[in-house]
Chain A
Amino acid sequence: SQQGEEDPQALSIQEGENATMNCSYKTSINNLQWYRQNSGRGLVHLILIRSNEREKHSGRLRVTLDTSKKSSSLLITASRAADTASYFCATVTYSGAGSYQLTFGKGTKLSVIP
Chain B
Amino acid sequence: DGGITQSPKYLFRKEGQNVTLSCEQNLNHDAMYWYRQDPGQGLRLIYYSQIVNDFQKGDIAEGYSVSREKKESFPLTVTSAQKNPTAFYLCASTSDRLNEQFFGPGTRLTVL
Q: Does B98 contact A (CB under 8 A)?
A: yes
Decide: B42 and A48 in contact? CB cutoff 8 A.
no
Find the residue from A99, A100, A104, A105 having the highest chain B CB count within 10 A.
Answer: A104
How many cross-chain pairs have Cβ atoms below 8 Å apart between A and B?
A: 55
Q: Does A13 contact B (CB under 8 A)?
A: no
Chain A at the B interface: SS class = strand
Find the residue from A33, A42, A104, A106 having the highest chain B CB count within 10 A.
Answer: A42
Cα(A100)–Cα(B105), bound, Å: 24
Q: Does A19 contact B (CB under 8 A)?
A: no
Residues in chain B near residue A41, CB distance under 8 A: 1, 105-106
Residues in chain A near residue B43, CB distance under 8 A: 43, 88, 104
Cα(A3)–Cα(B40), bound, Å: 16
Q: Does B13 contact A (CB under 8 A)?
A: no
**Residue-by-residue, is A89-107 near B (CB-CB < 8 Å gives 1, otherwise 0)?**
0001000000111111111
Q: Does A2 contact B (CB under 8 A)?
A: yes
Cα(A23)–Cα(B43), bound, Å: 15
Q: Can you name 10 A-B pairs with beta carbons within 8 Å?
A: A40-B88, A45-B101, A45-B102, A88-B43, A100-B97, A100-B98, A104-B44, A106-B40, A106-B41, A107-B41
